[in-house]
Structure 1
Amino acid sequence: MESAENTAGDKPGGSLQQTSRNVSVVWKYFTKDESSNSVTCKICKSVLKYNKNTSAMHMHLKRHPLMLAEEGQPKLHVQQSISAFTKRPAVTERRRQQITNLLVDFIVKDIRPLAAVHGDGFRDLLNFFEPGYNVPSYNTLWNAIAHQYDNLHENISEEMKGQSVSLTTDLWTSSTMEPYITVTAHYVTDSWQLKARVLCIAMMPERHTAVNIADRLSKIISEWGIQVFCTVHDNASNMNLAMELCEMFPHDLGCTGHTLQLAVKAGLVLPEVVKAVDAARRVVSHFRHSSLASCALKQRQEQLGVKSNKLQTDCPVRWNSTFVMLQRLFEQRIAVQSVLADEAVTKSSVQKSLAMRASQWELVEQLIPVLQPLAKATEIMCGELHVGLSFIYPVIFNMISNTLCVEESDLAAVRTFKNTVRQQLETRFKLRSEDLTESIPIVACMLDPRFKHLQFIPKN
């Protein structure tokens, strides 16, 4: 070995092909200096002491792996490539089925179109995690969805067997003007868990008469083979009549959230309230449609140190969105008025049309604390898994005795609003009816330990 190294030392610039087979490869990158017993690195010109072995040179070459790779020389330490490291074994049939089931869950749970799993981006993502899996065709996925539906239908039917089931139903129109009917079942399992299951979302192209509605609901109930105790629906006349025509519904109840909506809207259509709400809506619409005003509002919010919340417009079919609009506008009142008063942002003609009077701001300020608990009650009553029949009358009586109680400091318009909404609630919920204590919600209160003493009901 020593003679071989000496031979290489005599020809430090020689190639590997010219040296002995036993000569170390490190001599390709070092020059030997016989006079000082040292070697010099050809790559970085570092000088190392040479003691007739190549250990120090091997250690030094670890500092230059990239340079060695670029020159096409054999690597001293070859690492496994990324592709080899991430290479997965072949996909088994069991795993293939598991991935397909997860794709079906992705489509169903997130309400995605079938085309979502056939996009290039989704395929690239799936190929990175599971290269050996091919996305099934549309027909295969559709058959898998249908199979999953059949299994779920069977499991839910078995779970509801023998249970007293209540339904909620609604007729609605999609954004493409297609009519639909939705039916949801509510029941308590043997382990005392409250469940909500959507039994049907189907198109209903026929006329929405009481007879057609009752016929469609009867078919859905027969298909699932359930025993219905009570049906909750909106207050439309055709729906009320359908409940009377269908023999499968022993009891029915108007939707509390919808009834609250009708009662509050009766107060929102009062002349003074309408003027204030319309004025607020014009201001919000201006900021929603003017990028200049919107940017200026954001700058004013930063200067004034207020929350950078955007103004919210309201939706005609959801009264609580009107409350959100008024609340957000009043919260940003100073910033909004500052932008509207700036002629560099808002033209003088626009300023006059958008200016809200001081009396309207005062009315909005007094309406907000009245509308807030009403909006919260509406939100609670629209829940699925946290509200029951026993909640209805405690909430309604609380609204009447507290929120809608007229105070001396109230403006005339606020007093009229409170009186109007209170009368609407008393009429629609039949609070002065002689047989109130025989209604289903009151019976539910009697059975609920939280309300069983019925302390919220007046003694008379």
Structure 2
Amino acid sequence: MDKTQEDETVGPLNGKFLYKNNRDGTINKNIVICSFCKKEFSYHRSNSSLTYHLNAKHVQANSSVASVATGSSLRQTKLPEFGKRMSKSTTEKLTNTIAKWVAADCRPISIVEDKGLQEAFQVAASDPTFQLPSRATVMKKVSHIYDDERRDKEELLAVSCHVALTGDHWTSVSNHNYLGVTAHLIDSEWKLKSFALTVRKTVTRHYADACAEQFDAVTKEWQIEKKVTTIGTDSARNMVAAARQLPFEHVPCAAHILQRTITVSLEESSFDTALAKCRKIVGHFKHSPASTEELHQQQTALGQAREPLAQDVSTRWNSTLSMISRYLRNQEAVNATLAQQRHNLATLTNLECEKLQKLEVVLEPCKYVTELLGGDSYVSCSVVLPAICHLNRVMEPTDEDPGYMIKFKTAFLKDLDARKANINIRWLKVATALDQRFKDLKSLHKNERDEVWTWIEEMLRQSEAGLAPPQPTEDEPAAKKSFLLLCSSDSDSDKEELGPLARYKAEPCIRMHECPLEWWAAHAGAYGQLSSLARKYLATPATSVPCERLFSLAGNIIQKKRAALHSDNVNKLVCLSNWLKKT
């Protein structure tokens, strides 16, 4: 038989069936023969019965032949593998795993329709008949997983006495607005728990009344309206006004305040010209791939790492510091590249470079403080006042500082001191006293320290009397100091009442790298109501960063190709991604 005749005998389904040869040498295309078992079948342009035969009788042989035909596998199929199929329980478990994967890693639901993923699962399962679950099935599983995880969060909130919230608004690529709210608490084992509560769509304008109603609705939905202690937001006027209408303490985001202070200080100092030149040079390379490649070549020639320059963005924290650091680190390569090009850029003078170097030095502590306050897996509220105290020392002008640095530092200290009055200073002072790392209150003036212990004393009295501790307010006058009650008393009842507080004050401070919650876990039984206050105050985050991280997740979910996602699905996917990554 020649090549032409051989090709004509190849039947349907990529040669798995062959056309029957008549005795006279002609080909009968109405009858096909299985290439595996030689069984004959009638063929009238339909492959249904042929496919059924392969799936029923030659499962692994069908997979092996297909793999060899496509070059995807060189392994010969073994006899024990013939007829092997995935069990129903395994299929169900795999479907649940796919749903968790989609939710946790922000994958689009439509990924289950990808042919490549389908083939990958068939090869991994050694089952060519396996079909990925449909989009509806995956979304149904996601809803079930969300319900189970939500019940766990509701149980955790139900047994907690104090819950702190953070919240903010975000606008998606489809121009829809969402409110994100996260909860923060210390559980019975003295572990700090932070997790999403909701990412709900809003349609009203962000007036203070509307924002207050939205936060109130979230607390009622989760049945924690009587347990919420604080709500953390940025310092936007509508958020501040909304917080005044809520029965919770408002703790503005310390990182927002710090970054605003940096911006104001830069505007009032003499760094404008140097920063403007630096931005234009960086923009020159950012907008020209050819110039960037030339810069990389110069970096390689100088033995430096190939890294792009960074452009500062007014809304991105520490981006000015990143721009300055990258430029100064690659200044030689930048100048060498610009020397080979024709451009109208004004390069930085030696004095301007010196200014940027000094600015880099003073901005580094600000970056450290911002990153320190932005965590949600450790106690951060009690760090605010020590951090501000540290920045006050760093920014204190010296005789060695040039005039422009004195101007910057003076503007920084003045602006930070003005904003410090609006960060709920009383709440932060109590939290600092209840953190075993900072309970010596060295970050406060000596005249303020006794006042803090007096506040705590009064709250303990109210708690032991069966009354709710008084909520501190900025307008409330300072309580009477009671030095004799704190240090010595002739009354045995007074000694017994104030004993835990006096013993706590006598405890030595722990080291900075140690966890205050671990200390309280080991000593909570000895301090009664004082440990309850610690659980209340130390759970409050210092910034609104935790809820803003939800928006980073939401940005990975609500993309241009997924802009039509229903708001309920957005809430489930964002919350699940946050919950599953926390476990």
- Both proteins in one fold, TM over 0.5: yes
**2:137 equivalent to 1:150:** no
Shift of 1:282: 0.8
User: What are the within-5 Å matches in structure 2 for residues 348-427 of structure 1?
Assistant: 350=343, 352-401=344-393, 403-427=394-418
CA-to-aligned-CA distance 1:166-213 (integer Å, 9 cap, x gap): 001011222333211100001111111111111111221210111111
Q: Is the 8 A contact 1:287 1:294 kept in 2?
A: yes
SS in 2 for 1:272: coil
Q: Is the 8 A contact 1:366 1:410 kept in 2?
A: no
* Amino acid of the structure 1 residue aligned with 2:419: R
Q: Partners in 2 of 1:335 and 1:80 — Cα distance?
A: 53
Per the alignment, do residues 271 and 192 of structure 1 end up closer, same or farther by CA in structure 2, a change over 3 Å counting?
Answer: closer
Q: Partners in 1 of 2:131 and 2:297 — Cα distance?
A: 51
Shift of 1:85: 7.0
Q: Partners in 1 of 2:79 and 2:293 — Cα distance?
A: 52
Q: Partners in 2 of 1:276 and 1:180 — Cα distance?
A: 39
SS in 2 for 1:203: strand
Q: Is the 8 A contact 1:300 1:335 kept in 2?
A: yes
Partner in structure 1 of residue 167 of structure 2: 169
Shift of 1:397: 0.7
Q: Partners in 2 of 1:389 and 1:146 — Cα distance?
A: 35
Q: Is the 8 A contact 1:363 1:411 kept in 2?
A: no
Aligned residues: 369
Shift of 1:80: 8.4
SS in 1 for 2:437: coil
User: What are the within-5 Å matches in structure 2 for residues 75-90 of structure 1?
Assistant: 81-82=76-77, 89-90=84-85
Partner in structure 2 of residue 234 of structure 1: 234
Gaps of 5+ in 1: 1-78
Identity %: 27
Shift of 1:366: 0.5
Match of 2:137 among 136, 140, 150: 140
Q: Is the 8 A contact 1:446 1:454 kept in 2?
A: yes
Shift of 1:99: 0.8
Shift of 1:413: 2.0
* Amino acid of the structure 1 residue aligned with 2:357: E
Per the alignment, do residues 94 and 355 of structure 1 end up closer, same or farther by CA in structure 2, a change over 3 Å counting?
Answer: same
Shift of 1:98: 1.2
Per the alignment, do residues 84 and 182 of structure 1 end up closer, same or farther by CA in structure 2, a change over 3 Å counting?
Answer: farther
Shift of 1:88: 8.2
Q: Is the 8 A contact 2:112 2:134 kept in 1?
A: no
* Amino acid of the structure 1 residue aligned with 2:440: H
Partner in structure 2 of residue 220 of structure 1: 218
* Amino acid of the structure 1 residue aligned with 2:328: F
Q: Partners in 1 of 2:213 and 2:366 — Cα distance?
A: 36
* Amino acid of the structure 2 residue aligned with 1:398: H
User: What are the within-5 Å matches in structure 2 for residues 33-432 of structure 1?
Assistant: 81-82=76-77, 89-130=84-125, 131=127, 132-163=129-160, 164-226=162-224, 227-247=227-247, 249=248, 251-270=249-268, 272-342=270-340, 346-347=341-342, 350=343, 352-401=344-393, 403-430=394-421
CA-to-aligned-CA distance 1:111-154 (integer Å, 9 cap, x gap): 11101222122222222112353211111111111111111111
Q: Is the 8 A contact 2:281 2:345 kept in 1?
A: no
Partner in structure 2 of residue 3 of structure 1: none
SS in 2 for 1:319: coil
Per the alignment, do residues 372 and 86 of structure 1 end up closer, same or farther by CA in structure 2, a change over 3 Å counting?
Answer: farther
SS in 2 for 1:183: strand
Q: Partners in 2 of 1:456 and 1:243 — Cα distance?
A: 27
CA-to-aligned-CA distance 1:294-313 (integer Å, 9 cap, x gap): 12211211221222222111
Q: Is the 8 A contact 1:264 1:421 kept in 2?
A: yes
Q: Is the 8 A contact 2:372 2:380 kept in 1?
A: no
TM-score, scaled relative to structure 2: 0.61
Q: Partners in 2 of 1:273 and 1:197 — Cα distance?
A: 41
CA-to-aligned-CA distance 1:347-391 (integer Å, 9 cap, x gap): 0xx1x4231222221110110011111011111212111232111
| Rg (Cα) greater in structure | 1
Q: Is the 8 A contact 2:163 2:183 kept in 1?
A: yes
Shift of 1:400: 0.6
Q: Partners in 2 of 1:394 and 1:441 — Cα distance?
A: 10
Q: Is the 8 A contact 1:261 1:318 kept in 2?
A: no
Where has structure 1 moved over 4 Å in runs of 4 or more?
A: 83-88
Q: Partners in 1 of 2:397 and 2:205 — Cα distance?
A: 45
Partner in structure 2 of residue 449 of structure 1: 436
Partner in structure 1 of residue 12 of structure 2: none
Per the alignment, do residues 445 and 173 of structure 1 end up closer, same or farther by CA in structure 2, a change over 3 Å counting?
Answer: same
SS in 2 for 1:197: strand
Q: Partners in 2 of 1:231 and 1:341 — Cα distance?
A: 54
Shift of 1:315: 2.0
Per the alignment, do residues 368 and 241 of structure 1 end up closer, same or farther by CA in structure 2, a change over 3 Å counting?
Answer: same
Which range is displaced more, 362-371 or 176-185? Answer: 176-185
Q: Is the 8 A contact 2:318 2:367 kept in 1?
A: yes
* Amino acid of the structure 2 residue aligned with 1:139: A
Q: Is the 8 A contact 1:264 1:319 kept in 2?
A: no
Q: Partners in 1 of 2:182 and 2:81 — Cα distance?
A: 46
SS in 2 for 1:334: helix
* Amino acid of the structure 2 residue aligned with 1:124: E
Q: Partners in 1 of 2:90 and 2:404 — Cα distance?
A: 67
Shift of 1:319: 3.4
Per the alignment, do residues 228 and 339 of structure 1 end up closer, same or farther by CA in structure 2, a change over 3 Å counting?
Answer: same
CA-to-aligned-CA distance 1:41-88 (integer Å, 9 cap, x gap): xxxxxxxxxxxxxxxxxxxxxxxxxxxxxxxxxxxxxx9824657668
SS in 2 for 1:199: strand
Per the alignment, do residues 128 and 452 of structure 1 end up closer, same or farther by CA in structure 2, a change over 3 Å counting?
Answer: same
Per the alignment, do residues 381 and 118 of structure 1 end up closer, same or farther by CA in structure 2, a change over 3 Å counting?
Answer: same
Match of 1:458 among 438, 445, 452: 445
